[in-house]
Amino acid sequence: MDEEFFTAGGFAGETIINLKGIIMEGNEKRFIEVIPVAYNVVLEDDTYKGQIKVGLRFTPSNVCIFN
């Protein structure tokens, strides 16, 4: 993944966030919101590079698609 979202250009990085629990709870409650929280950004060599703030709101659609 290398998408240019910032005007200076350049790769900002990537991460994986497991959303399984959020989606399951959101489907049961029909809504879930996670307030923004700051997380430390640490490289593979344990170098601290700053923080990223992540928050989300999940509202399931009325359509269920199963594979």
35 vs 37: CA distance, rounded Å = 6
What's the angle, vertex CA 28, arms to CA 36 and CA 59, rounded to 5?
Answer: 45
29 vs 19: CA distance, rounded Å = 15
Q: Is the CB of residue 56 less than 8 Å from the CB of residue 22? A: yes
Given this model, what pLDDT does residue 6 score?
Answer: 56
Given this model, what pLDDT does residue 1 score?
Answer: 44
Q: For residue 30, give the amino acid letter.
A: R
Average pLDDT over residues 48-60: 85
pLDDT by residue (tens digit) across 17-49? 788 888 888 778 888 888 888 888 888 899 998
Question: Residue 25's closest CA among 56, 54, 53, 66?
Answer: 56
pLDDT by residue (tens digit) across 6-25? 556 666 677 777 888 888 88
Q: Please tell me the pTM assigned to this model.
A: 0.50
